[in-house]
Amino acid sequence: MRCDAGHSFDLAREGYVNLLLAHQRRSRRPGDSDEMIAARRRFLATGAYDPLTDALARLVSGEAPRTVLDVGCGDGRHTRRLEAGVVAGVDVARRAVALAARADRAGWYAVASAADLPLAGASVDVAVDVFGPVIPAELARVVRPGGAVVAAHPGPGHLAALRALVYADARPHDVKPPLRAAPEWFESAGWETFTFPVVVSDAAVLTDLFAMTPYRWHAPPDMAERLADATREPFTTAAEVVITTYRRRGRP
pLDDT over 90 (residue 29): no
With bands split at pLDDT 50, 70 and 90, how would you rate the model's confidence at 2? confident
Percent of the chain residues topping a pLDDT of 90:
84
Mean pLDDT of 186-205: 96
Contact yes or no for 147/121 (Cβ under 8 A): no
Model confidence at 23, in pLDDT bands (50, 70, 90)? low
Could you tell me the pTM of the whole model?
Answer: 0.93
Using H for helix, E for strand and C for coil, what is the string for 174-223?
Answer: CCCCCCCCCCCCEEEEEEEEEEEEEEECCHHHHHHHHHHCHHHHHCCCCH
Residue 27 predicted with pLDDT over 60? no
Rounded to whole angstroms, the Cα distance separating 190 from 154 reads 16
Q: What are phi and psi of 104, to 5 degrees?
A: -145, 85
Residue 71 binned pLDDT confidence (cut-offs 50, 70, 90): very high
Mean pLDDT of 164-174: 91
For residues 214 and 159, what is the distance between their CA atoms, to the nearest angstrom? 12
Model pLDDT, residue 28: 58
Where residue 87 falls among pLDDT bands split at 50, 70, 90? very high
Give the pLDDT band (50/70/90) at residue 192. very high
With b meaning 16 or more CB within 10 Å and e meaning fewer, what string describes 177-215? ebbeebeebbeeeeeeebeeebebeebebbbbbbbbbeb
Q: Residue 26: what pLDDT?
A: 58
Sequence-distant contacts of 86-89: CB under 8 A, at least 24 apart: 88/119
Instruction: Inform me whether the pLDDT recorded for 86 exceeds 90.
Output: yes
pLDDT of residue 25: 56
Instruction: For 127-143, write each residue's pLDDT tens digit.
Output: 999 998 899 999 999 99
**Do 75 and 104 contact (CB within 8 A), yes or no?**
no
What's the whole-number mean pLDDT along residues 43-50?
96
- For residue 21, pLDDT beyond 90: no
The pLDDT score that the predictor gives to residue 183 is 95
- Residue 6 — very low, low, confident or very high, per pLDDT cuts 50/70/90? confident
Question: Stretch 181-206: mean pLDDT, rounded?
Answer: 96
**Structural domains of the chain, with CATH:** 17-248 (3.40.50.150)
Average pLDDT over residues 28-50: 89
Query: How are beta strands 235-248 and 143-154 bridged, if at all?
Result: antiparallel
Sequence-ordered list of residues with C-beta below 8 angstroms from that of 51, at least 6 positions apart, any chain: 194, 196, 239
158 CB burial (10 A radius; 0-12, 13-18, 19+): buried
- pLDDT of res. 31: 73
